[in-house]
């Protein structure tokens, strides 16, 4: 009998479309009266105005049309998530070109080389760089090459592979948990919630900094303990085997941090700075910020002296790498389409309104956080989870007198903490496999840290609800 393999996000989301369509035959149809919310610039449900309407059950054709309608609804002619999906493809092309130049890799290697002999300080500095990658663009699969780079360096410094793996995994992970401008989490979730992604950025920044300090302290404490007594390593039994494997044929060749690569890193940072300014000050949205990254990709390609063929093919390959994310957004949005057309979205909201109506704002936001934690295991794609849950969670926040940006923060914190350990993540399992750290040992080692981070997140969300 074959070993069970957890289904992909695509399968899970398509299954949910079918389930929701089936529910449209069972759940009574209903609708709230709507009113314009000046702060959001859109209509929102009015609490206490729910009423039953004629049933609109959804069949097999609706199920098959849902992912298409999630991107673009041919019946109404309205765009669904097509602008978000296109933005994802363009930023994928941009990241592909920047990665091809070696600028990011060279920058991190430069830091690593400069700190030889002071390897302990590599931990906070590299974790800060990886956290920056996580909070800016949701650094995930892009971090995998650094496991190969860091494990030999950390072993040579008398640490162990766990220190190397956690520097990358927890560094990028805490950045994603505390996302500020991450297009694949915060921007998509805010878009689905109907608010600018800059709302609530202060609390997310606080989560990022506090979480980074806690993770750095955790890893450095363990690193010092292992260096003082190698027997305390959680992979002490693999000491000789790991040294032979990682240090036996280590190459000293490093990428040169050229002036061109420095300029490219500057443009990389400026692209995200312009995005923030455009959204916060000029009122830009998906079309405009997509254009920013398209222009930045072309500029980086020209500075790197790529040929026309190399520039376009690299851009397309980068977009191709994120095609799955773009499709997930359409499929996840398709669930909401089925709920809306089946007239059960407001019925679900009405039931949830009853559940949260007696809750304080603090209790509400913490319940939202734990709901998102559970859903993160079922839908491991942060983008898919955002599109799936925000259309429901955001209006619920209105009923509970909680700002919608706090629900976005609860979502990304829950998704971020789950993605530090979930076995369905290629980043977690792949990174640990490269570093030769058994998953169950890592899980036991990181569990107390997750508990501390959970307390911090719940305290931050509670504070946000009280302010």
Q: Using alpha carbons, select from 395, 412, 392 the residue that is nearest to residue 403.
A: 395
Position 398 in a domain: no
Number of domains within the chain: 1
Angle of helix 82-101 versus helix 323-341 axis, rounded to 10: 170
pLDDT at residue 40 above 60?
Answer: no
Position 158 in a domain: yes
Which of 64-68, 110-114, 260-264 is predicted with the least confidence, judged by mean pLDDT? 110-114
In terms of average pLDDT, the best of 41-55, 233-247, 303-317, 359-373 is 303-317
- The Cβ-side half-sphere exposure at 240, using a 13 Å CA radius, reads 1
Length of the chain: 467
Angle of helix 259-280 versus helix 103-114 axis, rounded to 10: 110
Q: Using alpha carbons, select from 208, 167, 181 the residue that is nearest to residue 413.
A: 208
**What residues are paired with 79 via a beta bridge?**
72
pLDDT attached to residue 348: 79
pLDDT at residue 233 above 80?
Answer: yes
- Angular region, 436: left φ>0, alpha ψ -120 to 50, beta rest: left
pTM of this structure: 0.73
The residue ranking higher by pLDDT, 219 or 70, is 219
Which pair of structure tokens corresponds to residue 142? 């892009």
Rounded CA-CA distance 139/182 in Å is 9
**How confident is the model over 252-273, as a mean pLDDT?**
84
Give the mean pLDDT of the chain. 86
Domain span at residue 166?
83-324
Position 160 in a domain: yes
pLDDT at residue 131 above 70?
Answer: yes
Position 432 in a domain: no
Position 91 in a domain: yes
- Long-range (24+ apart) CB contacts under 8 A made by 442-447 are 442/162, 442/165, 442/234, 444/234, 445/162, 445/222, 445/234, 446/166, 446/170, 446/420, 446/421
Position 293 in a domain: yes
Evaluate whether 143 touches 133 at the Cβ level (below 8 Å): yes
pLDDT attached to residue 240: 87
Do the bridges between strand 51-52 and strand 42-45 make them parallel or antiparallel, or are there none, so unpaired?
unpaired
Q: Give the pLDDT confidence of 398-438 residue by residue, as tens digits.
A: 888 899 999 999 999 999 999 898 876 768 888 888 888 98
The per-residue b/e assignment along 92-127, b for 16 or more CB within 10 angstroms, e otherwise, is bbbbbbbbbbbbbbbbbbbebeebeeebeebbbbbb
- Where residue 1 falls among pLDDT bands split at 50, 70, 90? very low
pLDDT at residue 96 above 70?
Answer: yes
pLDDT at residue 251 above 70?
Answer: no
**What residues are paired with 51 via a beta bridge?**
31
**How confident is the model over 121-146, as a mean pLDDT?**
85
pLDDT at residue 249 above 70?
Answer: no
Q: Give the pLDDT confidence of 336-371 residue by residue, as tens digits.
A: 888 888 998 888 777 777 777 778 999 999 999 998
pLDDT attached to residue 417: 95
pLDDT at residue 377 above 80?
Answer: no
Q: Give the pLDDT confidence of 43-55 residue by residue, as tens digits.
A: 767 767 889 999 9
The residue ranking higher by pLDDT, 75 or 309, is 309
pLDDT attached to residue 76: 63
Position 445 in a domain: no
Q: Give the pLDDT confidence of 167-219 residue by residue, as tens digits.
A: 999 999 999 999 998 888 898 899 888 899 899 999 999 999 999 999 999 99
Position 61 in a domain: no
Which pair of structure tokens corresponds to residue 347? 């019925």
Rounded CA-CA distance 132/181 in Å is 10
Q: Would you give the distance in Å from CA 135 to the centre of its chain?
A: 9
For residue 53, CA distances in Å to 27, 28, 343, 344, 386 come to 12, 8, 8, 10, 28
415: Cβ contacts below 8 Å, ≥ 6 apart: 176, 177, 185, 372, 376, 382, 385, 386
Q: List the end-to-end C-alpha distance of the chain, in Å, as a whole number.
A: 55
pLDDT attached to residue 178: 93
Q: Using alpha carbons, select from 301, 284, 378 the residue that is nearest to residue 87.
A: 284
pLDDT at residue 255 above 80?
Answer: no
Q: Using alpha carbons, select from 113, 230, 71, 97 the residue that is nearest to residue 163.
A: 230
């Amino acid at each position: 009998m074959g070993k069970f393999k957890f289904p992909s996000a695509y399968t899970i989301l398509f299954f949910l479309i079918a389930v929701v369509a089936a529910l449209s035959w069972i759940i009574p149809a209903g609708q709230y009266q709507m009113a314009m919310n000046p702060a959001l610039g859109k209509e929102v449900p009015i609490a206490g105005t729910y009423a039953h309407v004629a049933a609109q059950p959804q069949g097999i054709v609706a199920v098959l049309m849902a992912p298409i309608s999630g991107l673009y609804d041919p019946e109404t002619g309205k765009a669904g998530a097509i602008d978000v999906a296109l933005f994802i493809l363009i930023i994928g092309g941009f990241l592909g070109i920047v990665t091809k130049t070696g600028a990011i890799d060279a920058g991190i290697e430069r830091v690593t080389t400069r700190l030889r002999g002071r390897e302990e300080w590599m931990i906070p500095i590299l974790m800060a760089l990886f956290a920056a990658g996580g909070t800016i663009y949701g650094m995930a699969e892009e971090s995998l090459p650094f496991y190969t780079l860091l494990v030999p360096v950390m072993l040579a410094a008398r640490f162990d592979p766990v220190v190397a793996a956690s520097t990358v995994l927890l560094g990028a992970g805490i950045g994603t948990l505390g996302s500020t401008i991450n297009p694949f989490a915060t921007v998509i979730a805010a878009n689905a919630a109907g608010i600018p992604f800059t709302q609530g950025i202060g609390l997310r920044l606080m989560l990022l900094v506090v979480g980074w300090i806690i993770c750095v302290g955790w890893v450095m404490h363990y690193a010092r303990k292992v260096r003082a007594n190698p027997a305390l390593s959680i992979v002490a039994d693999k000491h000789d085997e790991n040294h032979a494997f990682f240090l036996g044929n280590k190459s000293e060749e490093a990428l040169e941090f050229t002036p061109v690569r420095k300029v490219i890193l500057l443009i990389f940072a400026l692209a995200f700075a312009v995005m923030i300014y455009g959204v916060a000050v000029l009122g830009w949205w998906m079309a405009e910020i997509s254009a920013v990254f398209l222009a930045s990709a072309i500029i980086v390609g020209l500075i790197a002296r790529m040929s026309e063929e190399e520039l376009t093919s690299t851009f397309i390959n980068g977009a191709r790498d994120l095609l799955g994310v773009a499709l997930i957004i359409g499929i996840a949005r398709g669930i909401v389409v089925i709920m809306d057309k089946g007239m059960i979205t407001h019925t679900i909201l009405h039931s949830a309104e009853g559940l949260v109506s007696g809750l304080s704002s603090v209790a509400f936001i913490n319940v939202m956080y734990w709901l998102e934690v559970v859903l993160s295991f079922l839908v491991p794609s942060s983008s898919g989870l955002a599109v799936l849950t925000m259309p429901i969670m955001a209006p619920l926040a209105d009923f509970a007198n909680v700002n919608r940006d706090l629900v976005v923060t609860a979502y990304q914190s829950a998704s971020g903490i789950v993605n530090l350990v979930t076995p369905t993540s290629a980043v977690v399992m792949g990174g640990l496999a490269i570093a030769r750290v058994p998953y169950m040992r890592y899980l036991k080692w990181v569990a107390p840290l997750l508990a501390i981070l959970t307390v911090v997140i719940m305290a931050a969300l509670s504070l946000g609800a009280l302010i």
